[in-house]
Amino acid sequence: MNYRDALSIHSKFEGEFFSCDEPIIGELVVHNNSNELVKIEKITVNLEVIHQGKGETDQVILDDLVINDYASIGPDETITHPFEFKPSYNVSFVGLAVTQNISIKTVVDIAPETEKLLRKKALGEKKILSFLGGMFIPDFYDETPVKVVRGETNYEIKKAGGTIRPGVDSAKSIMIYSLIILMVLSLFGYFLSDKQIEVVYVAIALFAVICVVTYVLKIAPSCKINYILKNVEGNFYEAHLELEKGKKLKGMSCRLVGIEEVTYDCGSSRCTSSETFHESVPTNVQQSSENTFNEVIALPEISVPISISNNDFDIIWKFEITMTTANGSALKGSAPIELGFEKERIKNPNSKNDNHFF
């Protein structure tokens, strides 16, 4: 028998899915497939959020359990041990760049004398690789993913307020890219045309034209928009937007955008793989006074991951505004926000203040 096959470990759960605000309840099953008595030092069970993607993997331990109840497990015997972990407040997510799994990770730490016994058995059966495997990674290990979804839990915007200037970011990108392209083209042109300086002047003039056009189309019609997002009862938020005084718009809409990102080493540089996994339907925001707009908007109904930053993994949420200017052009701008889950608030029974929650 292979060393690794001596013990089978898996976790079983109550139900196929868990809501993110439900405790994760199940049982650990360990079966001894060998003919030997396996002495156990301890069993460690962790509830983890595991991120995996191209070039990187990382995990965060949400809850843990150490089981010291079992000194050994006999040949062909099975141990079952119940567990209950606190709610994960994270959901399972399969993206194009990032996978977020909520998993039960189990390590069965066996006694050194049992390790030797099982390795000897593997060697005796001429299972050399199995023998070596047992020598270097003696403990037994299992990782079982749990399907966790949003369920009935409401999302909540944790931090959202600031200023957006639609159109400015895309204007900057246009100017930077055109500068680089024109510099390269003018260098080629200069040397190919026997060092005619007029080629460079043409490139400079072209860049100036691009800057003017970009200014007229993107920057001049833009304006500062101060925004505050507040949670509203149920799965909603209220967007309060304030324009610079004197600016007139034909209309404004907003939406939430979710982005998954992983940064990893690729050779001698760092690469970032980034994908948009969610774009909510744009909602028109009603004008409530000369320069303010208000609207109550739904948060995502489907199960999507909340904002998270785990070393090189990021789930980023953005609040995006599209303003339609007086001359009909549409300018977009966005700012990062933090999206989480509403957690049950426990009122301090001794508090005299009704608003004192923790």
Partner 1 sequence: MLSIDHYTNLNLKYNPFSFLDPEKQLHATVPRFDVGVLADEIRNCESLFLEFFGKKGHGKSTHLSMLILSYLPNAEYHRLKQADRKYIKPTSNILAIDSFQLLSLKNRIELMKNQKILIYTTHLSHRSGMILRKDKTYKGFNFTTMDLELAALQKIISSKIELARLNREVSIPKVKQSYLSALYNLYKKDIRSIEAALYSEFLNPRSTCYEL
Q: Is 158 in the site for partner 1 (CB under 8 A)?
A: no
Could you tell me which stretch among 68-76, 142-150, 248-256, 287-295 binds partner 1 (CB under 8 A)? 142-150
292 lies in the site for partner 1, by CB under 8 A:
no
Encode burial over 64-87: b for 16+ CB neighbours within 10 A, e otherwise: ebebeebeebeeeeebebebebeb
Binding-site size, partner 1 (CB under 8 A): 38
Query: Is residue 41 a contact residue for partner 1 (CB under 8 A)?
Result: no
Q: How far is the CB of 26 from partner 1 (least distance, A)?
A: 15
> Residue 278 in contact with residue 257, Cβ under 8 Å?
yes
Among 60, 65, 67, 149, binds partner 1 (CB under 8 A): 149
Closest distance to partner 1 from the beta carbon of 93 (Å)? 7
Q: Exactly one of 2, 19, 44, 52 binds partner 1 (CB under 8 A); which one?
A: 52
Place of tokens 């003039």: 205
Q: In whole angstroms, give the CA distance from residue 278 to residue 315.
A: 11
Under the binding rule (CB under 8 A), the answer on residue 61 touching partner 1 is no
Q: Which of 95, 134, 167, 333 binds partner 1 (CB under 8 A)?
A: 95
Q: Are 100 and 51 in contact (CB under 8 A)?
A: yes
Q: How far is the CB of 119 from partner 1 (least distance, A)?
A: 14
| Beta carbon nearer to partner 1, 153 or 214 | 153
CB 262 to partner 1: min, Å: 9
The one among 11, 99, 280, 325 contacting partner 1 by CB under 8 A: 99
Q: Which of 182, 217, 304, 316 binds partner 1 (CB under 8 A)?
A: 304
Least distance between partner 1 and beta carbon 105 (Å): 11
Nearer to partner 1, 130 or 222 (CB): 130
Q: According to the binding rule CB under 8 A, does residue 267 interact with partner 1?
A: yes
Q: Is 216 in the site for partner 1 (CB under 8 A)?
A: no
- Residue 92 lies near partner 1 (rule: CB under 8 A): yes
Neighbours of 113 (CB within 10 A): 10
Query: Does residue 310 interact with partner 1 by CB under 8 A?
Result: no
CA-to-CA separations, 154 to 25, 62, 103, 151, 329, in angstroms, rounded = 22, 20, 22, 9, 35
Cβ proximity of 326 and 252 under 8 Å: no
Q: Is 55 in the site for partner 1 (CB under 8 A)?
A: yes
Contact between 57 and partner 1 by CB under 8 A: the answer reads yes
Q: Which is nearer to partner 1, 159 or 270 (CB)?
A: 270
CB of 259 to partner 1, least distance (A): 11
CA distance 189 to 186: 5
Residue 145 in contact with partner 1, rule: CB under 8 A: yes
Cα separation, 91 vs 19, whole angstroms: 8
Compute the Cα dihedral for 193, 198, 201, 203 and give only its sign: negative
CA–CA gap between residue 254 and residue 354 (Å, rounded): 34
Nearer to partner 1, 143 or 342 (CB): 143
Specify the residue, 10 or 39, whose C-beta has the smaller distance to partner 1: 10
Q: Interface with partner 1 includes 153 (CB under 8 A)?
A: no
Residues found near partner 1 in the complex (CB under 8 A): 8, 50, 52-57, 91-96, 99, 101, 103, 132-133, 136-137, 143-145, 147, 149, 260, 264-270, 277-278, 303-304
